[in-house]
Each structure stands twice: as C-alpha cells, then as structure tokens.
Amino acid sequence: MKKILVGAAFKMNKTVEESIEYAKELDIFIKEHAERLKGIDVFVLPTFLSLYTFSKLLSGSKLKFGAQNCFWADEGAYTGEVSPMHLRKIGCTYVELGHPERLNILKEDEAMINKKIIGCLRNDLKPILCIGEEKEHPGKDEVNDFLKKQIRGYFKDVKAEEVNNIILAYEPVWAIGADKSASVEYIHDSLVFIRDFLDLEYGKNTGKNQLIIYGGSVNPKSAFEILKLDNNNGIFIGRAALNYDYFIKMVNMAIGA
C-alpha cells in the first residue's frame, strides 16, 4: 500500500487556544476514522508557541505534529533560535525547511538549510524539505536543472542511507498562493524526474522509496487527481488548511484516492 501524508502548516496564524481547538477536533476525527485512515498519516505544523501544549494533548495520538522551522545546532549562544533536539524531546515528528517565504523574506540560503537538515536528521526528526522552481517553464529542461541543483545543494553531506528520512515537498514557487495548483501532468513529470535523479545520485530504489508530497495551491478541484498520482505520496496545505472543514475535506479525499 502506498504511504500517504496529508499535512497542514499554519504559518503565523492561529493563537495557542485556536490551535488547541483545531488539534482536539482533528484528533477526534482521526480516532473515529482510524480504520479508514490506515496507510495515511495526518500532521499539523502550528506556531512554536503551541508545540509544548500539543506534546501533552497528543501524547499517544496518531495525529502527528511538528515545527515550521528550527536551527541547526542543538544548543548554544543562538539568541531566539529553536533547537532541533528540544523539538524532538517534546515529541515533534516533522520540521518544515526551505519554504520560499523563509528564503525570500528571511534570506535563508542553501548552506543554512543544508545545516538544518543535518541537525534534524541527527535528532531523528523528519525534515519536510520544500523544493521547487521559481517560474513555470513550458519545457521541463529548465525545471529539471533547477531541481537537480537544489537537491544537490540541500543534500550536501547527507548520507545515502539517510536520504529516505527526508520528506520532499514539491512546491513550485509560482503555484504557492496562486488561484490554481500546477497541472497533474506537470506534477507527475517533475516527480518522475526527482525519483530518477535520486536513484542516480544515491543508488537504485532510493527514488522509489522516497516520500514526496505536493504543495502549492492544493484545492478541492485538484487534490483528488494529485493524490491519485502513483508517484505522489500526499499533499501539503498552507493557508487554506486554516479552515478546519476544508482540511478535513482534503483528508477525506486522501481516504478515497
């Protein structure tokens, strides 16, 4: 059975109280539909302020949670940063890294993200690494060249046996916050390239075993077809998932895909 992930990142939205209410409702839904959700992992990435409460609220729950960022060192004089070791100790499973908003607004670069990936892997956290080209291209050569360069830079010093512990979130930058997601054909072709490239770089079956999810204006019209792609492992939703009913609709689509 193909592994499916359905995730929501709250960005800088929802108070702690609002996040708790959301998580409580989602936890109840998952418990009530446990049989239907076999093979599907549902996760939420709230703001840092909510994470410790989530660790208590969701102890033993099948609902996974994580952070939207972390630092690369476990401890030290890094004012205002958050340790991957501390995130793991409170029960986080995932850490989102490399989102275009952090690249563009906070000027994170390839080297910083690479060090954060290494820090997460060192602490048995699963990075959800955002990759994707900035512009849509009618021919895929430019897209493939961009993805190849991005993956090589981000995966520097990552051991071959660790690659499959990284979840790739393919998010074409031009589709984030847009009116529609990339076409199903476009997504399929990009995922084929990513999997083939990982095989070449890290050994046979690396690409086959890689968890890759799609993000970028996922909506009810596109989600079901995206989820049905045989080379896709799920969907990653941003601002639209702030609406609980909307997110549940996406989870139900994953069940039916």
In the set 96, 108, 133, 171, the catalytic residue is 171
Q: Is 99 a catalytic residue?
A: yes
Hey, what are 72's tokens? 């690369």
Residue carrying structure tokens 């960005």: 11
Distance CA 78, CA 252 (A): 42
SS3 54: helix
Chain centroid offset of residue 123 CA? 17
Q: Is 137 a catalytic residue?
A: no
In the set 99, 108, 133, 188, the catalytic residue is 99
Hey, what are 225's tokens? 């077809």
Hey, what are 19's tokens? 């996040």
* Residue 66 backbone phi and psi in degrees, to 5: -170, -170
Contact 100, 171 (CB under 8 A): yes
Q: Give the residue numbers marked as catalytic.
A: 99, 171
